[in-house]
Amino acid sequence: MKSHAGIGEGRGALGKVLAHVSVAGHGAISRLLLGKTNADFLELPDDPIAQAAVVAVAGVNFAAETVRRVVPGATALQELIGAAGRRHYLRQVTKVFRPDTTYGRHMKAA
């Protein structure tokens, strides 16, 4: 989990919050899946608030998915929202990592 602490490195106060949320969220999911004994053995963080948030989000997601299956057009709307979210995420990632989208590096290696 300590590797997640570096996720916000170089981004100031917002980066520290991002790192804390990442560690807490991943730790909570792992702790809920592995159980207390295994999580304690692995020295995963024990954050009851994060665990409650994960359970609450899972409950909301279950309810939303249950409704989505019976409401006409809801699946299409969800697909549009998901595609927009992925496009936004990729724009954010490419700003940070500046990937080579030309495949030039791969062509030189061939």
Question: Which DSSP string do the residues of 38-99 spell out, in sequence order?
Answer: HHHHTT----HHHHHHHHHHHHHHHHHHHHHHHSTTHHHHHHHHHHHHHHHHHHHHHHHH--
C-alpha atoms less than 13 angstroms from C-alpha of 96 in its C-beta half-sphere:
11
How far is Cα 98 from Cα 78, in angstroms, rounded to an integer? 29
Per-residue model confidence (pLDDT) at position 20: 84
Say how many domains are in the chain: 2
Q: In terms of residue numbers, what domain contains 24?
A: 1-70
Q: Do 30 and 57 belong together in one domain? A: yes
**Is the backbone of residue 85 left (phi > 0), alpha (psi -120 to 50) or beta?**
alpha
- pLDDT for the residue 3: 62
Judgement on whether residues 57 and 20 belong to the same structural domain of the protein: yes
Q: Are residues 64 and 41 in the same domain?
A: yes
Cα distance between residue 1 and residue 20, in whole Å? 10
- pLDDT for 29 equals 94
77 and 41 share one domain: no
Q: Are residues 36 and 84 in the same domain?
A: no
Q: How many residues does the chain have?
A: 110
Residues 65 and 77 in one domain: no
Q: Which two tokens stand for residue 85?
A: 């979210």
Q: Are residues 3 and 53 in the same domain?
A: yes
Check whether residue 2 and residue 56 sit in a common domain. Answer: yes
96 vs 34, residue with greater confidence = 34
Identify the CA nearest to 44 among candidates 22, 23, 17. Answer: 23
Higher-scoring residue by pLDDT: 30, 103? 30
17 and 52 fall within a common domain: yes
pLDDT value at residue 39: 93
Average pLDDT, the chain: 86
pTM metric for this prediction = 0.63
Q: How confident is the model at residue 76 (pLDDT cuts 50, 70, 90)?
A: very high
